[in-house]
Structure 1
Amino acid sequence: MSPRIARVVVNGLLLAGTAVALFPLAWMVSVSFMHPGESGTLPPPLWPAHATLENYRTLFVRAGMGRYLANSLAVASSITLLSLACNLMAGYAFAKLRFRGRAALFKGLLGALVIPAQVAMLPLFLLLKYLGLVNSYAGVVLPALASVFGIFLVRQYARGIPRELLEAARLDGAGEARIFVQIVLPLLKPIVVTLAIVTFLTAWNDFMWPLIVLTGQDHYTLPIGLASLAREHARDTELMMAGAVITVLPVLALFLALQRYYLQGLLLGSVKR
């Protein structure tokens, strides 16, 4: 097979795979603009006969989707910012600072990776109940302040920072806080963006933990709000698709805007240092 034919075949397979992956998302958007019951006809239509925004109007005016959207933005943004601060400082400390028990503590953190998150949900919920944080955003945010994966990712990347650069800054009289802010953070930019995207996506799509902690409907995030709507409007496919579009669009826009930094961080993190 000639190289030209091989390129055509490979590109054709990639296009076909892309079409298969994107078709459900495209149909979801299309159904969200259909009139109630229109998507249930046989055969299912690919495009709305007469596009309407009534489903989106219903979500924001009657179903309180705007409240759920604001809650998700507040929770996911808070988790991302606070988690970045904790993971960056901890990862840098494990990579470049010397302190007693560093190796043993890091091995213990790595061992925690094999423990399913569901195992810790009951004791964590009881602890939050004792602290009076149930049905509060703090109960959702605090358990996500630091992650073993985030610390490990930053630590592996920060190991590549030249120690001579840090020693030179110390000789010039710079303190550890100044070194971290002015020297380390700019060098960690690719991994910061990568970790920010991963953390935000995880917090935005989290369903189980907010469902356990948040008992009041006013505190619901988008995934919980959408699930509650599904119980009330089980047969209203068009309304559910509109809610799914509202849930997917913000994170999709964020990923597309920052995908260059995200891929750069993944590629740099895969290089052996």
Structure 2
Amino acid sequence: MKYVPDATGDRHFSDDLTTDREAVDGLLSELDEYAVEQALQISEAADDAEITVLTVGPEDARDALRKGLSMGADKAVHVEDDDLHGTDVMGTSLVLAKAVEHIGYDLVVCGMASTDGTMGVLPAILAERLGVPQVTQLSAVAVADGKVTGRRDGDAASEQLEAALPAVVSVTDQSGEARYPSFKGIMAAKKKPVENLDLDDLGIDAEEVGLAGAWTKVEDAAERPPRTAGTIVKDEGEGGKQLAGFLAGQKFI
């Protein structure tokens, strides 16, 4: 689960060209809520399943974990370390792989992408680091008889996929609406265990993560220009022609 800046907020970059997370409220990435929902459905269909929600992020990322716990997850793990600042997807995948191995797992369920970075590659890289199969971009997912099965919907066809456990899957926003935490769930979440880990706990050197260990680099960034006033067309019988002319001038038609 990823703790991301609120997309409706006024977001900025810090001097080191990383997201200024203190200047905007954060929340659980909406696309990761679908992953929690599918994990809960898998758990409800099983007799002895246990769900651990995991995040890598600053202190405030605990709010994302609490959301997952209030939805119904059993426990949480929070990886927090100052040396993680500026970590890209490669470093994040390393930390997640080490944390997943520390926790123990049969199935890792991820969202299809984060709502801030929107790269969508982390589940595949995580599976590679763990050395297990990946079944990504699923619209439906189920677990039975030591296998995970799912449906991947494309523009022209749907694929039925399966992999032996342990495995990594990612689910899309078409997999099913995430449930709202109940009041009982919110109160219960306060008593559920949250384990805190840092880089030393996972055996990761600081040089492997953060800005120094990043495989990617932001060279430059500029604030989005303010929105300008739109073109107003007063329809006095020629509105359709004026609209068509405007669209043609913008090469939309």
> Which structure's relative contact order is higher, taking Cα pairs within 8 Å and 6+ residues apart?
1
More strand by share: 2
The TM tier, using the shorter chain, reads under 0.3
Q: TM-score, normalised by structure 1?
A: 0.21
Larger Rg: 1
More helix by share: 1
